[in-house]
């Protein structure tokens, strides 16, 4: 059963590599141009979830686990030497990596500065010449980089592996994905569940596509989050907090999990103080440089925090409605502040309610991660890996459904190109979230009925 299922998913991913070759912003001008990508990802991921219940009946032998590992590895490896369909975020990664690998400051200049005829700042000249094609493809070249220090180190490593080549990034992110797989195996053993349930993440075609196929740095987040939870289970609070601080060096939101970890030792003020000091030290290195950069003009981080939004129709409608009552910029600031407050309140509430069992902590972390995603003004498919590993660990089927519905995001490209962006922002962007949130709501309602019965 495992061999056949794995082979079928790998074959589907191979077909996707072939079907999406040549799919770019310039060619994705009609809905039919992105249908193969959307249908290919959604159907194969749905197939995985439909087959998944049978995993629980397979004997978790070493050979079975090896099959799971090799098939998941193949799902990602098929993208090597292939272009990334539609996406170009990786070009910013390549440029930042080149700058950092040469010992220079990635936050000092916007890439646009290296496209003009003016003198190139000292030390950057040779890099700018070698990376000219990369710089020309960077999105929002007038903004300085948004990525914190840990992400920058991964970009630099990719540059050392293959300068200005996408497969250098794929190699780094593939290692991070393998770390996620191994951590899931360890965590499943901790909660006495079959290690084969790791396939819910490792065999997920959408995950393989967004992290390795189109190369997104969010691949680095799960190892930090899962590693921190595993360490917290083993009462290694300082190491867990340090990992979350390092995780913030890729995406800042893992800091919201710190209360969960510290909540397990809340009656031990000395341990909390030591962990807090350690966290401050890690954060100074992990996010200090990008935060300082955000205080200067043309900051990518400041622009993202104040105005970025996509694929969240609920937020789009809220901003539209409030924008009719007050000034638009004020409406955005109010909504984004509210979202941040609700996210923090959710994290604190989850920490206060979490039990002492391993599953309790993992469930609380899943609640926080999923809440952050579904509150976020931008809900790109690759952001879902913030919660999908935990959803796989706990077999949370409504949240796993997100990997089936999120490929609808790729309707954005033809609708935007044809001048129908509002059709996406205010309509099509409901397609991925409503089924998931509806299922979660139904489950919560049923749970309350059982409690009151």
Tens-place pLDDT, residues 98-134: 999 999 999 999 999 888 766 777 788 889 989 999 9
Closest CA relative to residue 208, chosen from 13, 392, 12: 13
- Per-residue CA distances from 311 to 88, 410, 426, 433 (Å): 18, 10, 9, 9
All structural domains of the chain with their residue ranges: 2-452
Give me the pLDDT at residue 69, please.
Answer: 97
Give me the pLDDT at residue 453, please.
Answer: 60
* DSSP letter string, 21-83: TT--TTT--SHHHHHHHHHHHHHHHHHHHHHGGGGGGS---HHHHHHHHHHHHHHHHTTTTS-
What is the pTM (predicted TM-score) of this model? 0.95
For 374, how many CA atoms within 13 A lie in the half-sphere containing its CB? 20
Tens-place pLDDT, residues 198-222: 999 999 999 999 999 999 999 999 9
Name the H helices within 324-380: 328-353, 358-375
Distance CA 197, CA 388 (A): 13
Residue carrying structure tokens 């070493």: 62
Give me the pLDDT at residue 1, please.
Answer: 78
Reading the block at residue 446, the tokens are 């049923």
Give me the pLDDT at residue 117, please.
Answer: 60
In the predicted model, residues of the chain with pLDDT beneath 70 are 117-118, 449, 451-453
- Per-residue CA distances from 295 to 110, 252, 284, 309, 417 (Å): 14, 17, 16, 21, 33
Reading the block at residue 312, the tokens are 């969240």
Give me the pLDDT at residue 118, please.
Answer: 66
């Amino acid at each position: 059963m495992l061999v056949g299922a794995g082979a079928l998913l790998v074959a589907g991913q191979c077909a996707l590599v072939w079907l999406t070759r040549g799919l770019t912003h310039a060619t994705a001008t009609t809905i039919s141009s992105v249908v193969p990508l959307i249908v290919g990802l959604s159907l194969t991921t749905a197939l995985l979830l439909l087959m998944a219940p049978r995993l629980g009946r397979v004997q978790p032998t070493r050979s079975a686990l090896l099959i799971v590992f090799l098939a998941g590895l193949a799902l990602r490896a098929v993208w090597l030497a292939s272009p990334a369909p539609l996406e170009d975020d990786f070009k910013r990664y390549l440029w930042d990596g080149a700058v950092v690998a040469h010992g220079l400051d990635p936050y000092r200049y916007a890439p646009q500065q290296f496209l003009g005829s003016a003198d190139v700042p000292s030390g950057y000249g040779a890099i700018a010449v070698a990376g000219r094609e990369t710089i020309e493809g960077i999105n929002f070249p007038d903004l300085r980089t948004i990525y914190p220090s840990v992400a920058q180190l991964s970009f630099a490593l990719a540059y050392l592996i293959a300068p200005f080549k996408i497969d250098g990034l794929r190699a780094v992110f593939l290692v991070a994905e393998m770390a996620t797989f191994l951590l899931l195996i360890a965590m499943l053993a901790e909660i006495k569940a079959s290690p084969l349930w790791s396939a819910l993440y490792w065999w997920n075609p959408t995950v393989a596509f967004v992290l390795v196929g189109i190369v997104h740095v969010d691949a680095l987040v799960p190892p930090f989050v899962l590693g921190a939870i595993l360490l917290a289970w083993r009462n290694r609070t300082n190491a867990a907090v340090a990992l979350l601080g390092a995780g913030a060096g890729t995406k800042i939101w893992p800091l919201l999990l710190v209360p969960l970890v510290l909540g397990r030792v809340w009656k031990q003020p000395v341990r909390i103080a030591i962990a807090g000091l350690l966290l401050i030290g890690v954060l100074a290195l992990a996010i200090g440089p990008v935060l300082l950069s955000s205080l200067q003009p043309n900051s990518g981080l400041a622009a993202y925090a104040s105005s970025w939004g996509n694929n969240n129709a609920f937020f789009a409608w809220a901003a539209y409605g409030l924008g009719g009552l007050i000034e638009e910029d004020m409406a955005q600031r109010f909504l984004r502040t509210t979202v941040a407050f609700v996210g923090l309140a959710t994290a604190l509430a989850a920490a206060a309610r979490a039990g002492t069992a391993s599953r309790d902590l993992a469930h609380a972390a899943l609640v926080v991660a999923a809440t952050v995603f579904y509150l976020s003004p931008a809900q790109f498919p690759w952001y879902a890996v913030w919660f999908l590993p935990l959803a796989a660990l706990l077999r949370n089927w409504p949240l796993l459904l997100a990997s089936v519905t999120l490929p609808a995001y790729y309707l954005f490209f033809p609708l935007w190109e044809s001048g129908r962006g509002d059709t996406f922002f205010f309509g099509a962007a409901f397609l991925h979230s409503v089924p998931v949130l509806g299922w979660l709501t139904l489950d919560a309602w049923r749970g309350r009925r059982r409690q009151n019965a």
